[in-house]
Amino acid sequence: MRILSPSKNLFLTITTIAFAHNINAQDQNLTLNQDSKFEQLLNEKRKINTSINTNDTYRIQIFSGKSDEAKKTLSDFKRENSNIDGTIIFSTPNYKVIVGNFKTRIEAERNLAEIKKRYKSVFLLKPGK
């Protein structure tokens, strides 16, 4: 391996500094062109998102098990209780059928008593769970 002479080393250093001085990574001025309707749409989305808050409602879990059984349980439940919404959530390794969006615990417990008559492993899910 050859070692550079001091004069070549100095020349290389000065050249590198000269080129590095003129390098600009980014231009600091940014121009953004967007449709005016985009801001309206974004504001509407923000309003909708603030009105949807499922963490402060009571829900009822009526089933936990295999996917096919969960789908059948949910369809049976919706057929019998069309006024209560329901969904299937996957939580490893089971599919859970969760129904209702009850604002108060009293309302949830009334529905829980009715649902217990039809389904075996039913329990109340508290808000934020």
Strands (E), the chain: 58-65, 86-91, 94-102, 123-125
Closest alpha carbon to 99 in 52, 58, 61, 55: 61
CB 49 within 8 A of CB 91: no
Q: What is the mean pLDDT of the chain?
A: 84
Give the pLDDT confidence of 56-76 residue by residue, as tens digits: 789 999 999 999 999 999 999
* pLDDT level of residue 92 (50, 70, 90 thresholds): confident
pLDDT tops 50 at residue 24: yes
pTM of the model: 0.56
Give the pLDDT confidence of 114-124 residue by residue, as tens digits: 999 988 889 99
Q: What's the distance, CA 37 to chain centroid?
A: 25
CB 11 within 8 A of CB 19: no
Which is more confident, 17 or 116? 116
**How many CA atoms does the CB half-sphere of 29 hold within 13 Å?**
0
* pLDDT level of residue 1 (50, 70, 90 thresholds): very low
CB 113 within 8 A of CB 73: no
